[in-house]
């Protein structure tokens, strides 16, 4: 049975590999259409090229870049607004175009905290995606964006409180406040161990982040056992679209 088509909507190049890389690889290996919309960084930049390589490793389609500037890196998209500053209606409309064009059965994005680190771009991407998934199925919203499409499910990539045991020793020394959710909130726990090699390779494809000491550099420095402990499970909260008429679609776990 073919896995459902999957569109991940994430803030930065490397988020797709760190947060959802195993799930993307798992769906792609099962024959599903898989793609990623990335809110920040412009085509032609080094990080956009790294994103393309990471997606190739994971088996996903070519990058879909909205091309806005990172909230903490204006040179990520020279001359363009920061994603956090874009009018909400405009950002939602641009994502509705992507949803109606790709027509995914499942959409994945950041949780309301913006993941462990709570980066403002992650939080904003969560808000925009949640609104766009609802709007995409409504014919009178953004009629210029194409034929309406209702995804069957929206899943939020997250970490349960129990994951702190693995992550705390790595992020706490960097003064990172880690944002996790109660374990009982988790709707899908995905074992991505069989795809761990692909996921790690995709993370390490983001050489810019490895070289500057960001989270991919932590992964690069770990032995295989440490990488497995941090990256072999992915967690999601299911957030149902507003329309109960849409067929229920499950993430492949």
Local confidence band at 173 (pLDDT 50, 70, 90 cut-offs): very low
**DSSP readout, 172-226?**
GGGTPPP--B-GGG-SEEEE-GGGHHHHHHHHHT-HHHHHTTSHHHHHHHS-HHH
For the chain, domains (ranges, CATH) are 6-239 (3.40.50.10320)
pLDDT tens, position by position, 6-34: 999 999 999 999 999 999 999 999 999 99
pLDDT at 165: 79
Local confidence band at 164 (pLDDT 50, 70, 90 cut-offs): confident
pLDDT tens, position by position, 43-96: 999 999 999 999 999 999 999 999 999 998 888 999 899 999 999 999 999 999
pLDDT tens, position by position, 193-206: 999 999 999 999 99
């Amino acid at each position: 049975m073919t896995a459902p088509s999957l569109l991940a909507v994430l803030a930065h190049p490397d988020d797709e590999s760190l947060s959802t890389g195993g799930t993307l690889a798992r769906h792609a290996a099962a024959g599903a259409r898989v793609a990623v919309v990335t809110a920040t960084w412009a085509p032609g930049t080094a990080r956009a090229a790294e994103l393309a390589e990471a997606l190739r490793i994971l088996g996903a389609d070519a990058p879909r870049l909205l091309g806005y500037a990172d909230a903490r890196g204006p040179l990520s998209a020279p001359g363009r607004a920061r994603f956090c500053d874009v009018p909400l209606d405009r950002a939602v409309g641009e994502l509705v175009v992507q949803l109606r064009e790709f027509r995914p059965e499942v959409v994945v994005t950041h949780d309301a905290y913006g993941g462990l680190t709570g980066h403002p771009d992650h939080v904003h991407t969560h808000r925009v995606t949640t609104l766009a998934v609802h709007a995409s199925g409504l014919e009178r919203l953004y009629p210029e964006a194409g034929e309406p499409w209702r995804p069957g499910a929206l899943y939020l990539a997250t970490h349960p409180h129990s994951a702190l045991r693995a992550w705390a020793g790595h992020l706490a020394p960097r003064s990172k406040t880690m944002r996790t959710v109660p374990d009982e909130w988790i709707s899908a726990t995905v074992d991505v161990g069989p795809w761990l090699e692909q996921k790690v390779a995709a993370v390490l494809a983001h050489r810019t982040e490895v070289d500057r000491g960001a989270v991919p550099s932590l992964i690069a420095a770990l032995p295989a056992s440490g990488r497995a402990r941090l990256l072999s499970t992915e967690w999601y909260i299911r957030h149902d679209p507003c329309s109960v008429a849409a067929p229920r679609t499950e993430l492949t776990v």
